[in-house]
């Protein structure tokens, strides 16, 4: 996910992660784009989770929401690993070493919850793109970072750009526009894409010479031309056919339903974390009635309540999105009648002889 990128820090030595880290911290509020470059350079030299947190913060401030969301997910993976390591250390040690391990565990769990909160804020700022490659081998990058095109690619809601690099080195830039929580499907540019060549002109394809002009017919040349106001009157008959009321509404409904699934996944994740924290708080000394001693047990109980509240709100949001999406989908797919002209009656002169005739034409 984090691709190699040249940092724009000319004042730092080639292998000085501390220098890049300090530059990134100083630029975080004034120039988040340069700050992200500096922090990424520091992380590539020294992979610290705290540096990755600052990098995700800079991406979010620079409105690169898709890459920020994926970076926050990576932070949660690392924090959960730190929690498990601290748990094993606490079980295997006693005294000060056990207290230090419990402190590290509490800190990592708190930072994991903060990363989850950042992800919740970003769900409304991203959409998804499904790339149909048709068996082609292409590398897809977004904002300089390679993405897995075999799964739905997260992009910034509204407008974003994907870069396709084929096995022959050909590079195509594709602009995608998708609503927040929506899903767009695109085809990967093929190797033969581009302006088609004009077919060679052969003998059979050449146009035939125009026929010579005919002499005017004396019987018809004496008649004045028909003016626009004297055009043939037309009587039309219409029929009504059933068609979907609005494809746009149905597509918006599908997008909201996809968003409901994503938010529901977040709710399930926080529910799992809340249950895990509750079990840990009971192990640390909390009673079944909710009474907890001061210290790690009380912190775990409080964290369990916070995550349970987030899970409840996310579940409610998922239900609202699902209900709205289903309503829009059914309304958009509802049938309505559209008028179609099938029958036409033409009245006008039939030949050079004076008189009129009627012609009936239709589509069946």
Contacts of 49 (CB under 8 A, 6+ apart): 75, 78, 79, 82
Sort 73 into a burial class: Cβ within 10 Å, 0-12 / 13-18 / 19+: middle
Can you tell me the distance from the alpha carbon of 161 to that of 264, in angstroms, rounded to the nearest whole number? 28
Look up residue 155 and give its two tokens.
């992009």
pLDDT in tens, 38-68: 999 999 888 999 999 999 999 999 999 999 9
Q: What is the mean pLDDT of residues 245-252?
A: 66
pLDDT in tens, 163-196: 988 888 888 898 988 898 888 888 888 765 444 4
Expressed in angstroms, the distance from the first to the final Cα of the chain is 57
Can you tell me the distance from the alpha carbon of 352 to that of 217, in angstroms, rounded to the nearest whole number? 10
Look up residue 361 and give its two tokens.
């034409």
* Beta carbons of 38 and 9 less than 8 angstroms apart: yes
* Beta carbons of 311 and 267 less than 8 angstroms apart: yes
**Cα 76-82-87 angle, rounded to 5 deg:** 125
Share of the chain above pLDDT 90, in %: 21
Look up residue 281 and give its two tokens.
């708080």
* Beta carbons of 163 and 171 less than 8 angstroms apart: yes
- Give the start-to-end residue ranges of the domains of the chain: 126-187, 232-364
User: Which of 6-15, 115-124, 302-311 is predicted least confidently?
Assistant: 6-15
* Beta carbons of 307 and 277 less than 8 angstroms apart: yes
pLDDT at 277: 77
Q: Which of the given ranges, 5-19, 24-38, 275-289, has the highest pLDDT on average?
A: 24-38
Instruction: Look up tokens 């056919």; give the residue.
Output: 241
* Beta carbons of 127 and 181 less than 8 angstroms apart: yes
pLDDT at 296: 76
Q: How far is CA 265 from CA 150, 220, 221, 258, 314, in A?
A: 20, 80, 80, 11, 9
Q: What is the mean pLDDT of residues 222-236?
A: 40
pLDDT at 363: 44
pLDDT in tens, 62-119: 999 999 999 999 999 998 999 999 999 989 999 999 999 999 999 999 998 999 999 9
Annotate 144-165 with DSSP letters as a single string: TEEE-TTSPEEEESS-EEEEEE
Annotate 248-307 with DSSP letters as a single string: HHHHHHHHHHHHHHHHHHHHHHHHHHHHHHHHHHHHHT--TTS---TTHHHHHHHHHHHH
């Amino acid at each position: 996910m984090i691709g190699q990128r040249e940092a724009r820090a000319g004042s730092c030595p080639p292998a000085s992660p501390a220098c890049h880290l300090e530059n990134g911290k100083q630029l975080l509020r004034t120039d988040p784009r340069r700050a992200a470059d500096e922090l990424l350079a520091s992380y590539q030299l020294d992979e610290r989770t705290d540096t990755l947190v600052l990098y995700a913060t800079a991406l979010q401030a620079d409105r690169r929401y898709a890459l920020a969301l994926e970076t926050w997910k990576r932070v949660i993976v690392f924090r959960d690993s730190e929690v498990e390591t601290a748990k094993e250390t606490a079980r295997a040690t006693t005294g000060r070493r056990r207290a230090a391990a419990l402190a590290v565990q509490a800190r990592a769990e708190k930072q994991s919850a903060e990363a989850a909160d950042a992800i919740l804020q970003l769900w409304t700022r991203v959409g998804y793109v499904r790339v149909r490659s048709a068996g082609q081998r292409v590398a897809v990058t977004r904002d300089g970072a390679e993405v897995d095109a075999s799964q739905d690619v997260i992009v910034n809601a509204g407008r974003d750009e994907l870069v396709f690099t084929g096995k022959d080195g050909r590079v195509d830039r594709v602009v995608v526009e998708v609503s927040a929580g929506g899903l767009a499907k695109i085809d990967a540019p093929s190797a033969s894409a581009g302006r088609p060549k004009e077919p060679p002109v052969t003998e059979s394809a050449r146009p035939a010479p125009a026929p010579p002009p005919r002499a005017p017919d004396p019987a018809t040349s004496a008649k004045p031309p028909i003016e626009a106001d004297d055009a043939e009157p037309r009587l039309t008959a219409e029929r009504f056919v059933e068609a979907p009321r609005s494809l746009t509404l149905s597509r918006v409904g599908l997008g909201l339903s996809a968003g409901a699934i994503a938010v529901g996944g977040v709710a399930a994740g926080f529910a799992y974390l809340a249950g895990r924290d509750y079990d840990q708080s009971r192990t640390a000394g909390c009673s079944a009635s909710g009474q907890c001693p001061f210290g790690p047990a009380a912190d775990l109980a409080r964290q369990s309540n916070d995550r349970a509240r987030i899970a409840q709100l996310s579940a409610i949001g998922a239900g609202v999105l699902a209900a709205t999406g289903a309503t829009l989908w059914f309304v958009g797919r509802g049938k309505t009648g559209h008028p179609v002209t099938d029958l036409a009656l033409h009245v006008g002169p039939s030949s050079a002889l004076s008189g009129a005739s009627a012609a009936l034409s239709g589509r069946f």
